[in-house]
Structure 1
Amino acid sequence: MKEGGLHSQRKKRNRGSPVLDSVDSFDEAYIRRIILTFYEKGEIPTFKNILTKVKEAPVNFEGFLTSLYKVIKRIGFSYKKVESGRKIIMERDDIVFARCKYLRTMKQNRLSENPRPEIYLDETWVNQNECISKCWTTPDGNLGPKLKTGRGARFIIVHAGGMDSFVPNGLYYYSDKKMEIRETIMIP
């Protein structure tokens, strides 16, 4: 280079990528469907899982993780931290396994010659000051419920029942005045 001469900035070349250019709108729609299917099944769509699926027919994607990342961004997905109140329910593998084991046990019981009765346990609660959300009141608001719903004692009701009726002496109820943690109270 000569000193004192004029120099222009290098122009950026926008070179295309054969892998990215080969992904058409059909492939993009199929990749979108793959990601949504993971969520429908309750699985987390990782790049590795998605890449495995898109390398199969009909997409036959020839790129790797970086190219797949660019395609997924182009489709409109973004990779970011998930909020604490997740909108999509994910199931853990151990929960899925426990459900399958439970269903197999129930099926074996129902098909056996001498099936044991199926008993189900449930609980509910009622707040002492539970009130309706709407009621007739005067324009100045002097009439109507004064207590907030969350105040006061909570009554917890537990009962067990089967196909024919409730279990005799299966009803258990108590008042949780101090709002103690319910899991620490033992059911007799």
Structure 2
Amino acid sequence: MAEGYGACLINKPELVQDMVKQVRNQVENPRFSVSIKIRIHDDFTRTIDLCRKAEATGVSWITVHGRTVEERHQPVHYDAIKIIKENMSIPVIANGDIRSLKEAENVWQITGTDGVMVARGLLANPAMFAGYEETPLKCIWDWVDIALELGTPFMCFHQHLMYMMEKITSKQERRVFNALSSTSAVLDYLTDHYGI
């Protein structure tokens, strides 16, 4: 549902412009930032048009995921993000398939953007920006402590652990771990297999 709605917005730059304007009009503090995150359009001139209209209305920065709505596992169009950056005077953030610190630095260099946004890469490895190639056990232990201290709901607690442990477990281990259904079962598993 959210993807469908987002797909409509890239085809309605005036609506995006109006949304940014409405938010800007409601916030009295001029230092309050308003940003948008977009995907590119098949007709790249429409993407540039959307970005220019958002910029003219007062958006503070734009994050660009370098794929169209229809593209899922195809390569990210970093060249398109670079062109958007070259056409904007506001900060542009690159997004899409960044799974390591080295990839983040590479994308930043290729696109010339003001920064990068990472989603799944950080879910899989919250220590990525510290230079780790995979989630260190210390990070898993820290997440367990934080989640238990804050009373994080089991589904969220377990889901984050599933992401973090993906690279450090075998397919068979993942099947067993992902099927666990309680906090105590997760804690027992981590203790038995990792001494956590």
Q: State the TM-score, normalized to the length of structure 1.
A: 0.22
Q: Which has the larger radius of gyration?
A: 1
Q: State the TM-score, normalized to the length of structure 2.
A: 0.21
